Amino acid sequence: MKSIVCLHSLTPDQIGQIGQAAPGFDLIVKNKKDVSAEQIQNAEVILGWSKTIAEEALREYSKLKWVQTWSAGVDTLPLERLRDKGVLLTSASGVHAIPISESIIGMMLSFSRQLHMAVRHQLKKEWKSDLAVPGLGTLGEISGKTLVIVGVGEIGRETARLAKAFGLRVIGVRRSDKPEPHVDRMYKMDNLHEALGQGDYIVNILPLTAETRHMFNAAAWNAAKKGAYFINVGRGPTVDTASLINALNSGRLSGAGLDVFEEEPLPAEHPLWEMEQVIITPHVAGSNDRYAERVIDIFADNLKAYVQGQKPPRNLVDYGRMY
């Protein structure tokens, strides 16, 4: 019998959902430590991924034909080996739109209302009505400001929708300049620096590719509007961290909200920890209590097509673009 190996916990309802989509498949639900080499080698479909299963899954004689990741990003997977083996790869892109967009708005509000400084004073039991970071102004508001979203996909669209409700002007940047309902103006990636020069808040939602690595560098900060806030919920290596720290120290940027980093976990001795104008979250912007539910919805839709001999319709990764 053909088999599906899932490396993540599932509820009985989710198991039933997969069973209805692929009644002719045996579903094996085990974590990466308990699944056997034989089960991986015989799996036609793998839901999730781990470095620990890579060698068995990619052996010449393994039966693997399709991997559905549990994550939106695929840059940590062995893309060349999967491509060379002819494996279909689909991501969980789209599951993060609501939690990440809410995290973005939360960081923007925190900077505007200096909530991150209020928490620091609270921990010290200090009553300070002047919450502003020295040299970076006073309490403000996001209404009337301009938000630049770099990488307008599912997350960017939802962020733009929320931003309009707060009265922001929204500029988008992506490969295509095709208009979006809540984006006032869309730029192509070639015009990134022109767009950055208009943003009071700059949000990076780019995937990691050869083209996007260190795209946010000294030249980008110099092109950005002086005093802008930068928020990164895309991929850590799309940012040159050393140049980011320089931009923050010089006042070129007023602050940074960072959920992802070039090195994770961020080392305890890293200077970003000590910077008052920086908000750090440990790569959790996309986490929430509905994550698994949304992944399984994507997987079930793809699975229904797959068992009928069709390519998965949702989030099929283009190996050339790496997303």
Catalytic residue positions, numbered = 235, 264, 283
Task: Output the CA torsion 256→259→260→265 (10° steps).
Answer: 110
Q: Is the peptide bond before 99 cis (omega within 30 degrees of 0)?
A: no
Taken as a whole, the chain contains a residue count of 323
Count Cβ atoms below 10 Å from residue 122 Cβ, excluding itself.
11
- 107, with CB counted inside 10 A (0-12, 13-18, 19+), is buried
Largest CA distance in the chain: 67
What per-residue string of b and e applies to 151-186 under the rule 16 or more CB within 10 Å gives b?
A: bbbbbbbbbbbbbbebebbbbbbbeeeeebebbeeb
